[in-house]
Chain A
Amino acid sequence: MTEISFPIKIHGLSKVYRGKKWQRVAALRQLELTVRSGEIFGFLGPNGAGKSTTIKTLVGLIRPTEGRVTLFGQPAGMAGARQRVGYLPENPAFPDTLTGREFLALVAHSFGLARQQGLMAAERVLDMLDLTTAAGRPIRSYSKGMVQRLGLAQTLLHDPDLYILDEPMSGLDPIGRALVKDIILDLKAKGKTVFFSTHVTADVERVCDRIGVIVGGVLQAQRDVAGLLREGVEGYFCRVSNCPDKVLQPFGYKGRDDVVQELFVPRDRFNDFASQLFRSGGSFDLVEPQRRDIENYFLSLVRQAGEL
């Protein structure tokens, strides 16, 4: 019964689209994924990898060809399963004859919020996303970024436990991106669960607890971001002083005329280098870890999958 408490549980999910001329597109293959409560999960993958397909299955817009998907233990696709979920569609669009405020009232009503409660919640999220001045205008007058922010506001409105965001940062300017990251971190601090997709690795590093990389409809890996960052350190860039050249030479240092001594030390030889340095009377001026970042990790997985 503990499984039931998982905000997202995907088991053996496959999806085949039937395209034009009865063409079949296998968008997802045997996807296994669990998102734990309170986790920020980044769903990383190149364009066309199947991120949106996964997310649309989660919120019941499409049905799986195979497999089981549950939200808090309830089968996805049932209206009730979405009660505790805030969903931001990819490139969202909202009934554009309504004003932002009216649309939020519609959302609040559908989540069963009382009128007064809904109004207050709407003002809170409008303010949070800097939409208060535009809230009385019809959505058709909004810019792309404003619509995206309204989409985020709409997910926050009823204070759900699980956020499913499809490319939340796309279409936003740098200020907007920073805002979204802050919001996500804020949600994490409140113990909420966030599942978001992106194809930009830089979005992932600062905010995610865990990432899953999907390429060609297959989940290639799931990793803990902290561990990945730790493991990713390949060596250190060091600036030392008063060190004899013979200590430095085995690390590929070629004697230079100037006073500044700089070199790269691989991770597994760092301890060795440090003890030699101290023994010879030298000292560190600067040590900088050199990491293979998530971008590289991502690219290597994509390469493995044969998509590059």
Chain B
Amino acid sequence: MMRRLGIFAFFGVLLTLYVQLLGPVRQVMEQRPFVEKLGLIPHPQALKLLFPDFRALLGATILGRVTLYFGGLVEHFDDPRLLVKAVDYPAMSRAIHTAVKLDPYNMDAYYFGQAVLVWDVGKYRLANELLEYGMRYRNWDWQLPFFVGFNKAYFLGDLEGAAKMYMRAGELSGAAMFKTLAGRYLQEVGKTEMAIGYLETQLAGARIASVKKVLRLRLTAFKALRQIEEAVDGYRRRYGEWPLGLEDLTARGMLAEIPEDPYGGRFYLTEDHRVRTTSKFSLTLGAGKKKKVDVTPEETLRDD
């Protein structure tokens, strides 16, 4: 009888202690710094040498971790100003570069790099390097040249390079749509429209909630931009002259109010009557952000 009681007491005490520990354990794990949460990722070359059989699995695991990590920050997305503080972009960039070194065919890496990393941080050249690395392996995939072309045309102003990429995407997909894209980029008006089209395509294909949220945010920004651009055009048509500033649009009733840039920037009018935003649609380049985010990986990507 005493023995039985002793056994009950033994397991009872230990189980209670275990349950008591669960809360603190969860709290501590949730409050870890971001790098630790994302996990320190070993050097890709070392991983490749140690587990050559599992390189694809390791690549997928790293991306899975990035996706889960990014998805876990979804509550910050409502205020993008907080996002840049919450998200550890350099760590994500390193993880993505490690993943493509392990498995250069992994489309998730390129997609995530393009959809989230590039825009938010504004490293277009780095992004194109990543994508062009992927093009050497996924040589059947039209999406990669499509992304590169968009970055070149929209962000880097390299229309000739963009046209080449769209031709390549057209050849690979067999769709005629790309052939016309390069031409339309030559006009400023078409640019915003195309960006919206591009984002809407991406959004339609997106399946992960966090990515969807990011894309939707961006789409909102571009729709705001288009609204202002349309107002500027309308102003010119009605009054026969360009507005001197965006205040003219509200003053003369073309717009009820200037839409807000969800990236925390401020829309303004350039000398040549184009609408720009101080944030450049990037979280790190946005107004008031002095923080410089370095997402360059330790090593450049090269074939091996």
Q: Tell whether any CB of A sits under 8 Å from a CB of B in the complex.
A: no
